[in-house]
Each structure stands twice: as C-alpha cells, then as structure tokens.
Amino acid sequence: MALDITFPDGNVKQFPDGTTVKAITEGISNSLAKKAVAGKLDGDLIAYDEPIAHSGQLQIMTKDDAEGLTVLRQTAAFVLAAALKDLYPDIHFGQGQATEDGFYYDTDRADGQVSVDDLPAVQKKMEAIIKENAALEPVVLSRAEAFQAFKNDPFKKQLVEAAGDPIKGYKLGDFVDFEEKVLLPSLKDLKHLKLLSVAGAYWQGKSSNPMLQRIYGTAYWSEKGLEDDAKRRQEAAEHDHRVIGRDLDLFFVDPKVGAGLPYWMPNGATIRRVIERYIIDKEIADGYEHVYTPVLANLDLYKTSGHWDHYREDMFPPMDMGDGEMLELRPMNCPSHIQIYNHHIRSYRELPLRIAELGMMHRYEKSGALSGLQRVREMTLNDGHTFVALDQVQEEFKKILRLIMDVYEDFNITDYSFRLSYRDPKNTEKYFDDDEMWTRSQSMLKGAMDDLKLDYYEAEGEAAFYGPKLDIQTKTALGNDETMSTIQLDFMLPERFNLTYVGKDGEEHRPVMIHRGIVGTMERFIAYLTEIYKGAFPTWLAPTQAVLIPVNNDLHLDYVNRIKKQMLAAGLRVKVDDRNEKMGYKIREAQTKKIPYTVVVGDKELNDAAVSVRRYGDEHTEEEAGNMFIDALVAEVKNYSRDGKTKPGEATKVLGD
C-alpha cells in the first residue's frame, strides 16, 4: 500500500509502504541527509530510520531545528540512563526527558543517591558508550514483556501500567528502556554534552510520592554551543534572585513551613512596602478606590464565577466546615471585587467604577514548579477591576494602558512588547463557549490597540478563560519573555453574577468588566527587579539608601548621628556603622550589600560640616556639604528610576512626549 506524503511546499508524492524519513531525505539531497535527524508527521516527531506509519504531512527535522535539538537531548537522557545502569546495577529509574535548555533523568538508589561528586564518572561512562557507537535498536514489547523487563523497577512498572499495549522502547547493548520519544539514528552525533547538577524531585511531581534524585545535563551539536551555554548559566547565576535574595537577606523559604511560602526579611519587606505604597498612591491618583477583601470565600462563589469548572486544578481543595459550608482559598480576586460592586445599586453616574486591591491569593502549585519568588503558592497581586458602560470600554482601556506605561517609566522598564491573547476556539473545556462574546470582545481589544497605532502580535490559546486580554511581555535579565501586565475584557462574569447599573433611561443595563494588573504579583515583580538590577536597586527602592561610617567613634559619632537624624527626618533610610572594625572592611561590606551610598566622616568632614560620599560601584569618593548631599539624595528618590533617556516609541504613543 502506497504512502501519500505531503511536503511543506504543498507537493504530494507517493512512496512505497515501509519507506523511512531517511530514504525520503536521501532522495531529496545529500546535504539535507547530512543534517537530518528525524521527521515530523502531521505535527508528531517520528524516528529517522523507522518505517513511516501512514500518509500525512511530513517535515524533515534537521540539526538547525529546535526539534532536532530536542531529539539530541532525548538521546543524551537515554545514554545517561544506560551509563547509570552500568555503574549502579541496583538503580531504579523514573522518567527522563529533554528540556528547554538540556535534559534530565530521575533516579533512585537504596544504597545512596547519585551525588554531584559522582557526575564526572557518570559522564566518562556516557562518553565511553558513545565512542562505541553501538546501534540504538527500537523494540516493541507486549505489556507482559514490559512487566518482565522492568519487574525490579517500581517506577517503570507504574509507567507500563499507564501505557498502552504494545509498548515502545529502545535497546542499547544489554540496556533496554521504556521510551516513547524519538532518538537519534545513531550515537555518532552525540559528542558535546555536560552533566551539570543533581536535585530532588518528587515522583511525577506529587509531594505525596517518593523523592527521587534528578540528574541534569545539557547537550549541543557543537563545542561552541556548550561554551555559550556555560556562559549563559554563569550569567544566570549572577542574576538569580534566589541567590541574590539570600546574599542580601531579602527573603527565605523554610521547609518546616512549606515550599512556595516565602518569608520576607526586613530588607525584602522594605522593598515590597515601598512598591506597595507607590502602587496604591498611583492608583488612587488615577481614580481607583482601594479595598480589602477576604482570602476565604464560599465555594459557591467560585462555582458561579466559573473558576471551579475551568480553574479547579490550580485551586486548593475546599475546606469542609462541618455544617454544609465549604470554604475555598481564593485563586483570584475578581469575584471578591464583583461582590463590592454588587453591594450597592449602581448608577451610570458612578461609571467607570474602579476598584483596586493588593489582594492575597493562593494557587495549588506542584512542588516541582515552585521557584523562589517567581512561582509560589501564596502571592499578593496588584489587582484592579473597572466596571464600565459599553461605550466607555475603549477610553478606559487607553487610560489603564497610560497608567501602566507611566509605572514602567518610573521603574525604567523599557524592553517590552504587546501581545493580544485570544482563546483557542477548539478548547471549550478551558474557555467559556460563547462565540458571540469572544468575537465582540476580541474585536474591541484589537480596535483599541489599532486606534493607538501600537505594534502588537497575536497569540491564540493565551486568553483568560472568561475573556481576551492584552499581555505586556517584558524581557527578563536573561532575555526571556515574561508577562508583566495585563488588561482583560470580560462580558462573561457580569452576566454570570447578574451585574447591572441604572442608565440615563432609568432602565437596568449590563456593565463590562475590565480586569487589569499593573505589575503582577509582588513576589514575581520583586524577583524580576532583583534580577534586572542584580541586587543593586535604584536608590528609591534600596532597603538601606546610605550607610554612615565615622572614622573615629569618639570624635565623629555625634556628628554622624546628627546627619542620620536629618536624613531620617527627610524620609531617607539610613544606618550608622559604628562597629569596632577597620574602615576598609566597613566600606567593602557596604559595597557587597550594594548600598547606594557609603558616607565617611572624619576630621576634615567634621570641620567642614561635610561628608565624603562614595556611590555604589564607584572607586572614588567626593566631598559634599552635608545638607547638599541630603537634598540631592531626596531629589534622586523623588525622581524614581527615571534616567532622562528617551522613552520607548510605544510608550511615547501612549504617554506623549
């Protein structure tokens, strides 16, 4: 029976049954065959030298494609397992797979876990296996054969139980692994790899399951790829907010309390408090009314909102209060703000009605997904909801966007892009199934962006379950995209909660609800800022803005304390270092703590009513009159992070020159 293969250019060719991707590739060109490593049939990766199963659309995957790199790394994970089995015959395996920047395999040993000190020996064994270049043979096992093959491996047996029949795998010498993924046709191209680290990981990501040892590595097609990766990892370590947070004593997570539940130390709490006060003042000045609402609510509230149907996997289990009442930790604030709106009869004169809150929320995050402040289980969202009449939507949208751009300017956030996030119309489980609502709201959102002449791109399947949104994607310190701010149009929740206002005609009308977040959660925003600034926060955000150091406590401490009093009265955050330590040590420590200003006072400064000032990162000091230094510092703080540079073009369109 012939195979009808459709190529990316639309051409259709027939091939005999049993044809492989390799045969097709070699028939196209030798140069393509040298780079090809796999195929993609109707969107699914298929092996390079196995028979193509059926007719369909075929793409040739090469070393230049992201999928080609995935195949390389899946092969590296397989070879890692083979090496571990050879070195530690008693080892048990979980799952191994390729990741965005490498690969891993989960393992377990009763006789002591594989440690980071063992990695050089494991890598050496991998290199020996690769050098032998033994054939990677695909195997097909019946369920009974698979149970026999993995009878001594409890985790693989669970995977066999969940898999279909027959079960695919690969064989390398005597080693057999249950492997549904596509591997390289041979090991000759697996030349550039590096084992990196080990870490704990719960089996299948569930904290109720055993903790396994996850071994991480990476692989590339060239040595340069490995070298560039090492540089990126070094840079990532220097920017890592978890490392900086520990070094600057900003926050910590206590395993006795639980993962994803950060404690804010005084330094971190100061940064957070400054940002929260700034945001609240900014929103109040823009017409928002700030509220407080409970973190617990009756489960029925989230059934009405649709969260229980569409968001349940991200919610903690309800708490049964024993009298039929079921309470739920809130996953989002919008139903709470709807209750604020519904508490009174509303008139068209009140619209737009703007409600904001620094609202604490809880999300059921698996332990494997948690990371410092970026992914947590308890978070505080800079949340706001505006209730508007239909003819007010576009102007309110622009007003919110102006507020976001103004905040970005204060934080000197300049690298961002706009994404219009739409629903996937085929996914009726994730999104409310109302074509008319989606068409109308997506059209209004697009119209507002077009009216502002803003550049944007569109992404299907990224909307909230209740409506489309504008996502503002910022670049992290390592150049990755991260959603910072959102504006979402919602026709659905006003309908479900029967929200109304009395119009000019005396009749009831349905408002439109606009959800918006300016800087997202405090946790994620501070993680972002920490990494962008590498812990050297601008003066207005720094936990300690200046440290005062007397050269001699007996002679200069009184003067230093007078300066401190003046600075505190001016609203500045200042400390005095009067410890019995050498001057050089104190100055170096202030630089290590990334305090913006180190101020030294000796005889000359005392006589001149001056101070010697050293800015963080500078090698030299400058003498200034004490009062002039304080005035300059106050002015710098009031200027936020604005550096006088030209705004990004998109911000100019929204804010003006």
Strands, E, within 272-427: which ranges? 289-290, 296-298, 319-320, 326-329, 353-362, 378-388, 416-422
| Packing angle of the helix pair 553-569, 626-638 (nearest 10 deg) | 40
Separation CA 315–CA 111 (nearest Å): 38
Residues 635/572, Cβ–Cβ less than 8 Å: no
362 is in an annotated binding site: no
Residue 40: both structure tokens together: 């993609």
92 is in an annotated binding site: no
Which distant-in-sequence residues (6+ apart) come within 8 Å of 360 by Cβ? 295, 378, 379, 380, 381
Strands, E, within 347-456: which ranges? 353-362, 378-388, 416-422
Cβ neighbours of 117 (radius 10 Å): 8
- Could you give the C-alpha distances from 217 to 71, 81, 119, 192, 194, in angstroms and in order? 14, 12, 10, 11, 5
Three-state DSSP at 403 gives: helix
**Tally of residues, the chain:** 657
Residues 469-507 as b or e (16 or more Cβ within 10 Å = b): bbbbbbbbbeeeebbbbbbbbbbbbbebbebbbeeeeee
241 is in an annotated binding site: no
Q: What are phi and psi of 137, to 5 degrees?
A: -100, 120
Separation CA 489–CA 441 (nearest Å): 6
- What type of residue is 625? A
Strands 296-298 and 326-329: antiparallel
The annotation places the binding site for Zn(2+) at 334, 385, 515
Residue numbering of the annotated binding site: 334, 385, 515
